[in-house]
Amino acid sequence: MMRISAALGLIAAAFLPSAANAFGGGKGTSSSPTEPLVARSSRRDFLATGATVGAGVVTSGVITSPPFGSGEAIATAAPSSAALRGAISLPPIGLGAWAWGDSIFWGYDKKNDGDLAEVFDYAVSKDLAFFDTAELYGFGRSEQLLGDFRAKYPPEQADKVQIASKFAAFPFRTKPQDVVNACRKSVERLGNKPIDLYQIHFPNAWSNAEYWDGLAMAYEEGLVKAVGVSNYGVDAVRACH
């Protein structure tokens, strides 16, 4: 359990307590409405990338106070990238790749792979090559496509492509090694490069602590550059962090 603390220090989990304030779900995370954003940058760096806080309004990279008076008054210029505690730096916009390979929900057809490659190339050309995928998306097909598209680039360009992927917390996966094994397969599909951000896709009714240890093990083995969690509530994030 303790070993995950160091690895999770590399993600933006620290900002989620304040996100709880914005959506009314936190405990013991009060803050003054007039408190400057810079004073809480360790928890709110992600907002500077253009995310909306509660009912806040985002205009030209500046987050202003909510029009209905229900949130915090904050304003800051958006940086060109968001740093995850010094481990990796991400562009302000990423592309979700769930539909890339998923025929069950999104009607994926292999004949459209050329169109997906064009989208990939365009993102690379605009320095916005950050893609979110998961082993569940197309049962690995999404990861395989991203790996194949990246492999067409010379090393100096391929290294600029950043990918986040996720571990599926199925009930039959109960051990830290399950996370590591799944991560290795994702790495293979993605072209045998370390995954920039690897996350638990969703919490389980049990084994969550084992999953967090698995994240730490994947990080320690050099399979991933940073780790995190997805679809976790505020209390769950606090528990693993």
Strands 162-167 and 227-229: unpaired
H helices present in the chain, as ranges: 3-8, 16-23, 41-44, 103-106, 113-125, 141-151, 155-158, 176-189, 208-220, 234-240
- The sign of the dihedral angle between the CA atoms of 158, 163, 169, 174 is positive
Phi, psi of 40 (to 5 degrees): -125, 35
Residue pair 10/218 in contact (Cβ under 8 Å)? The answer is no
Question: Of 183, 102, 161, whose CA–CA distance to 136 is shortest?
Answer: 102
153 is catalytic: no
Sign of the dihedral defined by the CA atoms of residues 186, 236, 97, 227, in that order: negative
Catalytic residue among 108, 122, 137, 211: 137
The residues annotated with a catalytic role in the active site are 137
